[in-house]
Amino acid sequence: MNRAPILRFRCRCCERLLQVPEELAGRAVRCPACLLVLHAPPPGLVEVTPVDEIPELEPLPEGNL
């Protein structure tokens, strides 16, 4: 199955690694860790990796909302 590539970049506030579908490039996204709203960078500025090659992110500890 051919999966859509995703963009990987870090939140400029908390440094959490964010992963969003490439079609969200340039659009506003919210960091799930610190709730900062930032714009996903264009694909040329970040490394684009197929979804099936990206490791699962660990969930946040309870109480970190």
Give residue-wise pLDDT tens across range 17-29: 999 999 999 999 9
- pLDDT, average across residues 47-55: 61
Banded model confidence at residue 5, pLDDT cuts 50, 70, 90: confident
- On whether residue 36 sits in a domain, the answer given is yes
* Cα 18 off chain centre by: 2
- On whether residue 62 sits in a domain, the answer given is no
- On whether residue 37 sits in a domain, the answer given is yes
- On whether residue 44 sits in a domain, the answer given is yes
Domain with 20 in it: 5-49
- On whether residue 41 sits in a domain, the answer given is yes
- On whether residue 45 sits in a domain, the answer given is yes
- On whether residue 63 sits in a domain, the answer given is no
Measured CA to CA, the distance from residue 27 to residue 54 in angstroms comes to 21
Domains held by the chain: number: 1
